[in-house]
Homo-oligomer: A and B are copies of this chain.
Amino acid sequence: MIFAEILAVGNELLIGEVLDTNTNYLAKHLTAMGVMVLKATICRDDIDEISSILDNIIGRVTFPGPPDFIIITGGLGPTFDDLTLEGVAKATGKDLEENEEALKMIKEKYKLLGEKLTRHRQKMSMLPKDAIPLSNPVGVAPGVMLKPGRVTIICLPGVPAEMKAIFEESVSKLICDKDEVTSFIEAHINIIGVMESSLAPQIEALMEEFPDIWIKSHPMGLEGLRSFIRVHITGMGVPETLIKTIEEVQKELALRVEELGGECEIIPIKIDKTIRKTENNIKNKN
């Protein structure tokens, strides 16, 4: 199993000016690739803050210890408050230095735009020592990858379109290259006429019976005058085995709901399109 943590950098997220959708995108796509996301943090544009949070993630003491990947979004641009790489440099003890490859990427972008390379624009080529720039297909600031020890740090721009483009083109490939990637499989059941607190002991019993499966009830309010709950059943592992187990859990839960006087709609298992898309992307590029 591969583990990851996410860090979103930006004051605008902590004053509520901007809703952080990048973390949700990354969580969804990493999970679909079989990566377990352990934690996500939003922090201010502040070198000490970024560095202190990274120290904490790299020295993670709770299960399973330090993650394989830290994916950071935001703070890579040309403005004074884009401080992510300074924070990474401080946490990893790698000085910022001009990265030739990054500078080349940035120069080419501004040439296309008919703009000069100013001091503020050149700032985006100052990467931590030994970092690798990741090409940005839709914006200027390159992504950055660094492996100062066991943990791989990946920095992506905060603009969602740029973040997604670099993730799809470079990051998903980096992660899929690891052998351990497993599959994430999910299924749903809609339940009408049983309250969440009545369902709780049944779900608890099923989770004990099937320890590899995660079952989560989401109360959706009322359907007419009856309680409506959407149950999400998920697991990570070898697809063939998982699918069989999840189908068994669906049937078993449906039986118990009927016993409680409720009604069920079993939604067929969805093989996440993202997995196939990512696999195909990689195949097409190789």
Binding site for B on A (CB under 8 A): 11-21, 23-32, 37-44, 46, 48-49, 52-53, 56, 61-63, 77-81, 113, 115, 118-121, 140, 159, 184, 186, 195-201, 203-204, 207, 214, 216-219, 232, 234
A70 to chain B, nearest CB (A): 14
Q: SS class of chain A's interface: helix, strand, loop or mixed?
A: mixed
Known: A78-B197, A204-B80, A219-B159. A16 touches B41 (CB 8 A): no
Q: Are B27 and A16 in contact (CB under 8 A)?
A: yes
A13 to chain B, nearest CB (A): 7
Q: Are B81 and A216 in contact (CB under 8 A)?
A: yes
29 contacts between A and B (CB under 8 A): A11-B214, A12-B216, A12-B232, A13-B27, A14-B38, A14-B40, A15-B184, A15-B234, A16-B28, A16-B30, A17-B232, A18-B218, A38-B44, A39-B42, A39-B43, A48-B63, A49-B63, A78-B196, A78-B200, A79-B199, A79-B200, A79-B217, A80-B200, A80-B207, A118-B197, A118-B198, A118-B201, A120-B198, A159-B219
Q: Are B41 and A15 in contact (CB under 8 A)?
A: no
Within 8 Å CB of A40, what residues of B?
13-14, 41-42
In the complex formed, the residue of B with least CB distance to A29 is B16
Bound CA–CA A226/B69 (angstroms): 38
Closest 8 CB pairs of A and B: A16-B28, A16-B27, A78-B197, A40-B42, A120-B200, A15-B31, A80-B204, A14-B37
Bound CA–CA A205/B38 (angstroms): 40
Known: A20-B24, A115-B195, A159-B219. A14 touches B41 (CB 8 A): no
Q: Are B12 and A16 in contact (CB under 8 A)?
A: no
Q: Are A44 and B39 in contact (CB under 8 A)?
A: yes
Within 8 Å CB of A77, what residues of B?
196-197
Bound CA–CA A39/B49 (angstroms): 9
Within 8 Å CB of A52, what residues of B?
61-62
Within 8 Å CB of A26, what residues of B?
16
A165 to chain B, nearest CB (A): 14
Bound CA–CA A46/B36 (angstroms): 14
A37 to chain B, nearest CB (A): 4
Within 8 Å CB of A184, what residues of B?
15
Within 8 Å CB of A15, what residues of B?
27-28, 31, 37, 184, 234
